[in-house]
Amino acid sequence: MIEEILPAVFRWSAFSPAHRVELTAHAVGSDDGLRIFDPIVPPSEVALPRSSGDRVLLTNENHERAAAAWLAEGVPVWCSPEAGTTQPGIQRWGAGADANPDADPAPGWIRIPLAGGPPGETAFLLPKRSLMIFGDAVVNLPGRGLEILPDQYCRDSRLLRESLRGLPDFDHAMFAHGEPLLAAAGRRVASLL
């Protein structure tokens, strides 16, 4: 089931027995289409206001999830140059051998690399909405609450914490794993550091 948690901000999730965690996807409406983060089901199963400007953004290399189905439907899928994705057709932003330095798959969003997390870990900030989208760097799981990605899943937990210390403030946060924070989210994340 898809829920609209803020105006034009959608969320849906499903439990993954293989990962033993809830996987959450988000879509945020903009003037030129949706920005869809880490989708977990094919586009035919997601009842969202769709347009030709839609883009899928992966927050790290572990979140290909249903990327192949979105690509098959003609929706471009983007990730960090550092993400070791396996799906042919995924495009890369920024610098790197196979990246497109001139392309911006998410105008108005600020991509924030979070070194130390999984390869290609990137948070996305939409300043005009004070909205941050996290991949694995920060989670908010039922029964555990808000926390930095546990050390055993980090490439370098100290470096990840340093990366998170540099975040600007934001009001709302969405997570690839767990419940959203809809008030004072930046301060709550900063308190973990």
Please list the pLDDT of the chain residue by residue as tens digits (193 residues).
889 999 999 999 888 777 688 899 999 999 889 999 999 987 777 788 888 899 999 999 999 899 999 999 999 999 998 998 888 899 988 766 566 666 788 999 999 999 999 999 999 999 999 999 999 999 999 889 999 999 998 999 999 999 999 999 999 999 999 999 999 999 999 999 9
pTM for the whole structure: 0.93
190 Cβ neighbours under 8 A, 6+ residues apart: 165, 167
Cα–Cα dist 80/60, whole Å: 7
